[in-house]
Amino acid sequence: MPTLWIALFALVLSVVGYALGRRRAMVSADGDIRNLHSRPNYYGVNAALTGLVPAFLVLALWTLGQPLFLQNSVSGMISDAQIEETGSLGLVMSDVRRVADGLDQAVAEGAMDAETAGNVRIDLTDVRARLGEVGVALGSAVSQETLRAAQAYRAQSSFGDLLKTIVVLGIALAGISYAVMRTNATFRARNVVESGVRWLLIAAASIAILTTVGIFLSLIFNTVEFFRLYPAGDFFFGTTWQPSFTGRGGSSQLGVLPLLWGTFYISLIALAVAVPIGLFSAIYLSEYASPRVRSVAKPLLEVLAGIPTIVYGLFALLTVGPLLLRVFGDDTVGWMQGGTAVMTAGLVMGIMLIPFVSSLSDDIINAVPQAMRDGSLGLGATHSETVRQVILPAALPGIVGAILLAASRAIGETMIVVLGAGAAARLSLNPFDAMTTVTAKIVSQLTGDSDFSSPEALVAFALGMTLFVITLGLNVLALYIVRKYREQYE
């Protein structure tokens, strides 16, 4: 039975469990809910959850674990000679899986009957051609050994699926009946459900955290691999970025400094645009605007945050770049050679960041107690004096936090840079020069046909890691600042 059907079936069982639990509780209370410890719904939910949660947990683990288990047990059947011939065990095993899935598919589509599929022999049938008919393409003719392994794979996996169905539904049934058995008028179903809800929330939170850890680990292995091939000193302190794709190894210069400088410079310009505009609009919206204006203007401003960055990139490439070129190009002052430049990307990125700064700052300024405003106005301060001397200082930690969050957004931004800043990695002070950033180079190192064992490709992971550490540091700093000064007015 496919996983989806098992899940649906378990769900149906739990609905039945809900009804049973609820009814049993009502019966044990002689139909009067005042005799129950909890309201009847809680007994129902308790029965449903006791069955459903462990069943789903086992289902998820089993579905993830079964392929790994089968892989191990079947790979023993592959001889060393076969592995040598194909290249690696991984490739053989992927062939095995394809053949196995192909046979299953052929049976499902009626191209073979189940018995034929079970007894396919390489010397009697052209397996590759037959599978090709049902749309499963194989790279080479199937060897006897692969076919045998595939048959074993099929047998074990269908046995595993059957076992999975039985175990999962069994657990669901057992859980539901246990919960229904326990149900009586004095059973504290409400407390049980309450702690169940707590665990559900904990699980959700830990998934988010574990994913972060997982991303970090996936980066770190490749980064370590990169530093084995390329000296760390040259990476961190090299001032030239010149990856070579023709002569592999040795001839590439992979210094990160030009990229970091580009990232830093573009982010700086972006923040120089976004912080004043964002902050001022936040002050206007929260302090001066009438509720009507605010209710229209704030969503409009936040629309900016909803525009995909690739659209901003196009805006940079087609509008801002040519415009800047006309003003600062060869025709006038000659500072700018092409439309793609640090300034182009920085300006457009700044526009993108305005809603981040303004929306967060607006919330923070609104959180400053009215008593502060009254106190200042009551002393004869004007509105802008109040904003400047009382509200902004009170909201400053939050505003700094908002700015740092915008900064980490700027550092991680890719599409605007790819389209607006050019691709040349260089260390220059002229903001009208084309430069590039860490993110843009990660894209260019990994696009196309890349060999994942060369330093030229692996450097992308080291770059990703560097970015991750920088933005993580900024976020931690932002949190620290916000937390340290948060309780100043209370």
Partner 1 sequence: MNDMRLIERAVDMDDIKISARDVQVYYGDNHAIKDVNVDIQDKTVTAFIGPSGCGKSTFLRCLNRMNDTIDICRVEGDIHLDGEDINDKRVDPVQLRAKVGMVFQKPNPFPKSIYDNAAYGPKIHGMAKNKAELDEIVERALRRGAIWDEVKDRLDAPGTGLSGGQQQRLCIARAVATEPEVLLMDEPCSALDPIATAQVEELIDELRQNYSVVIVTHSMQQAARVSQKTAFFHLGNLVEYDETGKIFTNPEDERTESYITGRIG
Please select the residue that binds partner 1; options are 371, 469, 472, 479, rule is CB under 8 A.
Answer: 371
User: Shortest approach of partner 1 to residue 398 CB, angstroms?
Assistant: 12
> Judged by CB under 8 A, does residue 80 bind partner 1?
no
DSSP H helical segments within 110-188, as ranges?
Answer: 114-118, 127-133, 144-182
**Residue 453 structure tokens:** 């064992």
Site string for partner 1, 331-370 (x = CB under 8 A): --------------------------------------x-
User: Which residues, 6+ apart, have CB-to-CB distance to 226 below 8 Å?
Assistant: 235, 455, 458, 459, 461, 462
**Which of 218, 374, 451, 469 touches partner 1 by CB under 8 A?**
374
Should residue 294 be labelled a site residue for partner 1 when binding is judged by CB under 8 A? no
Out of 57, 323, 379, 472, the only residue in the binding site for partner 1 (CB under 8 A) is 379
Stretch that binds partner 1, among 224-232, 261-269, 310-318, 378-386 (CB under 8 A): 378-386
- State which of residues 87, 233, 380, 448 lies at the interface with partner 1 (CB under 8 A): 380
Q: Which of 58, 167, 377, 443 binds partner 1 (CB under 8 A)?
A: 377
Per 3-state DSSP, what percentage of the chain is helix, strand, and coil (rounded to 5)?
Answer: 75, 0, 25
Q: Which is nearer to partner 1, 268 or 396 (CB)?
A: 396
Stretch that binds partner 1, among 301-309, 323-331, 354-362, 385-393 (CB under 8 A): 385-393
Report whether 43 contacts 25 (CB < 8 A).
yes
490 contacts partner 1 (rule: CB under 8 A):
yes
Residues 105 and 329: their CA atoms lie apart, in Å, by 62
For residue 394, the minimal CB distance to partner 1 (Å) is 5
Q: Which is nearer to partner 1, 90 or 369 (CB)?
A: 369
Asked if 328 contacts 338 with a C-beta cutoff of 8 angstroms, the reply is no
> Do you know the residue count of the chain?
490
User: Residue 79 burial by CB count (10 A; 0-12/13-18/19+): exposed, middle or buried?
Assistant: exposed
Asked if residues 196 and 48 have their Cβ atoms less than 8 Å apart, the reply is no
Q: Which is nearer to partner 1, 380 or 448 (CB)?
A: 380
- Does 163 bind partner 1 (CB under 8 A)? Our answer is no
Select the span of 168-176, 203-211, 319-327, 384-392 touching partner 1 (CB under 8 A). Answer: 384-392
Token readout for 108 is 């499902």
CB of 382 to partner 1, least distance (A): 5
Piece of 52-60, 199-207, 371-379, 435-443 that binds partner 1 (CB under 8 A): 371-379
Taking the least distance from each CB to partner 1, the nearer of 373 and 441 is 373
What pairs with residue 242 in β-bridges?
253
Residues 149 and 157: their CA atoms lie apart, in Å, by 12
Distance CA 370, CA 50 (A): 49
* Chosen residue from 212, 239, 389, 453 binding partner 1 by CB under 8 A: 389
Structure token digits, residue 80? 């060393």
Residue 488: partners with Cβ closer than 8 Å, 6 or more residues away: 394, 397
State the nearest-atom distance from the C-beta of 222 to partner 1, in Å. Answer: 47
DSSP secondary structure, 189-234, as one string: HHHHHHHHHHHHHHHHHHHHHHHHHHHHHHHHHHHHHHHHHS-HHH
Binds partner 1 (CB under 8 A): choice among 16, 381, 427, 477: 381
| Residue from 126, 194, 330, 385 binding partner 1 (CB under 8 A) | 385
Least separation, in Å, of the C-beta of 490 and partner 1?
A: 8
> C-alpha 300: how far from its chain's center?
27
Tell whether residue 296 is a contact of partner 1 (CB under 8 A): no
Measured in whole angstroms, the distance separating CA 99 from the mean position of its chain's CA atoms is: 33
Contact call for residue 322 and partner 1 (CB under 8 A): no
- Asked whether 279 and 480 are in contact (CB, 8 A), the reply is no
| Interface contacts to partner 1, rule CB under 8 A | 290-291, 369, 371-382, 385, 389-390, 393-394, 488-490
